[in-house]
Chains A and B, each alone.
Chain A
């Protein structure tokens, strides 16, 4: 037997594991799977992006030109830039702070577990949760409920929100101002509408026309709403509105103030004989504070980013905490012995030692952010979806939305790939360097 004559075994002996020929059979299954699932779709998408919607006609770069001239794609680009600039940095920062803070507390693991929990929920479900959290109606959206609660603690809402005089008054910033002047001895009737009769305070009494008084300006404020009631007339079942403030204005200055009684009547007792203008201050009718329109066009992207931060912070904490535990303790101790404050230890020792981990976390998050899709899709209501648009969502809408142009969709996919590629290359490089 001369084993050295067999080429195969000779190479095994010479340099174990280095023969490409020998490697091929072992790599083949993985290569086939990779080629079928990754390489083929990649190349196919690239080719497809040069064809039109039906896939029959070669259109060159037209899909790319269309993409870069489409207003919606440009908005998506802009939003992606905002995402990349804000979100990964915020998550890495918050993750770092929380990881360092939780490092030395007793229940660190439990605490981190709780923070990691959002990662266990699918993005889609998280999106639905945040859709409800930011709902505009304070009865449903918890954010607005909190805002309204705090706001009403300091400035209670008005007694008759949305109510307004039927006619004869012009709305101004200060309130409703009578179009005609009046003077002592007159009686003025102020019919209000736009308020539900069932919400009138219980102590309100039926309205009736006041008699005119000498030297006094009298009047009635009542809710002029009833079935079959005549507009501007006091009908039997209509009630006066108690607690409405009125002002008498002369030459731009308030000369007298009064408030209506339970029957809705009011009196300005001592007005001089000159004419005054009656005004109903805005504070009577101010709309109750309803919180902010979180899901409107201006706030939608920050809102979605905030929910993404909620989800991903746990991820960042886990990685950074792992990196933190790998830091040599003596470096920290040495710094402390030398008299460094905790802040200095954090700034000058912890962060520099952690920077490789932070970088990996950051880059991974950048990749994650570039392909963000579900959150935008779920949280943004249809009316602001174009304002909240991001590239991945745009790609999906163009290719599979009811439009169905997979050529243009492929072009977007290729662009997205090109954007993600540098971050991926960076990560691969790092892993390789770490190994060597």
Chain B
């Protein structure tokens, strides 16, 4: 009886101080015992297991139970349904900033607590905070990110022509041509998936047009018929327009296949561009070893552009503001949670206070470092910022238009007009 009373008193004291002073006092092991938070995320399989280890650390730290619901690609639908049904989860990890903004404006989300905001400001470059803010209020932060500015290359193919990782776009074309002379296609493009093509475009555009124009185009403040878009498409056409450089059947090649084309046996191409998760495709589908046979170089600079990274990511947001939920958000915003998953592999974080040594190997360390080093030159994947009808639908909008561009890279004007027409329709709604 006495013991319980003391526990209650302690809890009240902690809760009180957390509420008033913004959580100066730490949370002890048993303080949130008996409370449960539900968290919805996109991860299944191995990623789910790894994330559950992160959550287990939270449980042992605070005593609160966390129930993880994997929703896969259907996460937006799952969330939308649960919000309409009046039973939202405590926390969700959302890959589409547009959806976060939509939920925030519909008052489904709770702005983060002052402690979480402090942690986000402290541990991340300003651009990430901006990404999680809607109408001046911070609603979330990127917990897991993807570095979408990497060219993965086969060491063997590069050796055959004595090539070194190119630092500029022109060098890349030159290297590509040298590789094509050996009968190998220079790049393998996964054109059956539209999202790989939007990533190509975004990387070139971020470099040729600069971050300011990138932001404007993402909000459709400048049209897709803008000269800056033409410039980017023309640069892209230098590579895509040469049939000896791009592997055959690109439009029928899905993303995993495009990776296997380079690192599988027999290999038909020397390089594949995509995000850090190419590494896991290599490990699961080919015999090539990441770091030895398969290496990466950052997306080359175009016309002297500064180092910049296009990133994707899953943003943690909260639908409830009870104590356990807020504690969980605080935990996810701390370097502590990220370091757990970083050690398990397949994880990058924009959190600059995660120690580099927390990542398991050189390649991952390098990928993570480039995101942190690019600082405010990081831009979120534009197609994920756009309305889904334009930037995220199979066979429609930007995906389809860029696929048509890959099929006919000479048709820059036609593609720009189609992009603009589709964008106008999608943003107008």
Contact = CB atoms under 8 A, between A and B. Distances in A.
Do A and B truly interact? yes
Interface of A: 53, 72, 135-137, 162-163, 166, 193-197, 199, 224-225, 227-228, 290, 293, 295-296, 381-387, 389, 397, 400-405
Contact of B396 (A72, A137, A194, A381): A72
B237 interface: no
Given A296-B252, A383-B252, A403-B393, A194 B180 contact: yes
A402 B72 CA distance: 13
21 contacts: A53-B429, A72-B396, A136-B249, A194-B182, A196-B184, A199-B183, A225-B181, A227-B160, A227-B161, A227-B162, A228-B162, A382-B399, A383-B192, A383-B252, A384-B395, A385-B394, A397-B393, A400-B77, A401-B394, A402-B76, A404-B76
Contacts of B182: 193-197, 225
B215 interface: no
Contacts of B191: 383
Interface residues of B, number: 36
A296 B191 CA distance: 12
Contacts of A137: 249
Interface centre among B192, B387, B394 (most CB of A within 10 A): B394
Given A194-B180, A194-B244, A382-B394, 5 more contacts: A381-B192, A381-B254, A382-B194, A385-B394, A386-B395
Nearest to B257: A137
A382 B194 CA distance: 7
Contacts of A386: 395-396, 400
A397 B183 contact: no
B195 to A, nearest CB: 9
B119 interface: no
Contacts of B74: 400
A349 to B, nearest CB: 49
Contacts of A136: 249, 252
Given A199-B183, A382-B192, A293 B252 contact: yes
A230 to B, nearest CB: 12
Nearest to B160: A227
Interface in B170-221: 180-184, 191-194
Interface in B382-414: 387-389, 392-396, 399-400, 403
A228 B163 CA distance: 9
Nearest to B390: A403
Nearest to A139: B266
B305 interface: no
Nearest to B159: A227
Interface of B: 74, 76-77, 80, 96, 159-162, 180-184, 191-194, 244, 248-249, 251-252, 254, 387-389, 392-396, 399-400, 403, 429
User: Which 8 residue pairs spanning A and B have beta carbons closest together?
Assistant: A385-B395, A402-B388, A386-B395, A193-B181, A381-B192, A196-B183, A402-B392, A383-B251
A382 B193 contact: yes
A424 to B, nearest CB: 29
B183 A162 contact: yes
A397 B394 contact: yes
Nearest to B253: A381
B395 A382 contact: yes
A296 B180 CA distance: 25
Grouping DSSP codes into helix (H, G, I), strand (E, B) and loop, the A interface class, with mixed when no group exceeds half, is: loop
Contact of A404 (B80, B161, B194, B395): B80
A224 B182 CA distance: 9
Contacts of A197: 160, 182
Contacts of A290: 248
B393 A194 contact: no
Nearest to B195: A382
A135 B80 CA distance: 37
Contacts of A225: 161, 181-183
B239 to A, nearest CB: 17
Nearest to B392: A402
B38 to A, nearest CB: 22
A329 B363 CA distance: 77
Nearest to B268: A137
Contacts of B96: 402
Nearest to B183: A196
A401 B251 contact: no
A225 B178 CA distance: 9
B181 A194 contact: yes
A139 to B, nearest CB: 9
Contacts of B395: 72, 382-387, 389, 397
Contacts of A403: 387-389, 392-393
B421 to A, nearest CB: 10
Contacts of B76: 402, 404
B42 to A, nearest CB: 13
Contact of B388 (A166, A228, A389, A404): A404
B388 A194 contact: no
Nearest to B244: A194
A401 B399 CA distance: 14
Contacts of B162: 227-228
B403 A383 contact: yes
A195 B160 CA distance: 12
Contact of B183 (A195, A382, A389, A405): A195
Contact of B251 (A227, A228, A296): A296
Given A194-B183, A197-B182, A383-B403, A404 B77 contact: yes
A383 B193 CA distance: 7
B167 to A, nearest CB: 20
A72 B394 CA distance: 12
The residue among B96, B392, B396 with the most chain A CB atoms within 10 A of its own CB is: B396
A162 B400 CA distance: 29
A168 to B, nearest CB: 15
Contacts of A381: 192, 251-252, 254
B16 to A, nearest CB: 40
A131 B387 CA distance: 30
Kindly name the residue among B159, B193, B194, B249 whose own CB sees the greatest number of chain A CB atoms within 10 A.
Answer: B249
Residue among A196, A290, A293, A383 with the highest chain B CB neighbour number at 10 A = A383
Contacts of B388: 401-404
A42 B387 CA distance: 29
Q: Which of A199, A228, A402 has the most CB of B within 10 A?
A: A402
Contacts of B252: 135-136, 293, 295-296, 381, 383
Contact of A293 (B77, B249, B389): B249
A364 to B, nearest CB: 30
B308 to A, nearest CB: 26
Contacts of A383: 191-192, 194, 251-252, 395, 400, 403
B6 to A, nearest CB: 51
Contacts of A401: 388, 393-394
B18 to A, nearest CB: 37
Contacts of A385: 394-395
Contacts of A228: 162
A218 B49 CA distance: 69
Contacts of B249: 136-137, 293
A138 to B, nearest CB: 11
A128 to B, nearest CB: 13
Contacts of B159: 227
A58 to B, nearest CB: 16
A72, A197, A401 — which one has the most chain B CB atoms within 10 A of its CB? A401
A199 B266 CA distance: 13
A136 B191 CA distance: 14
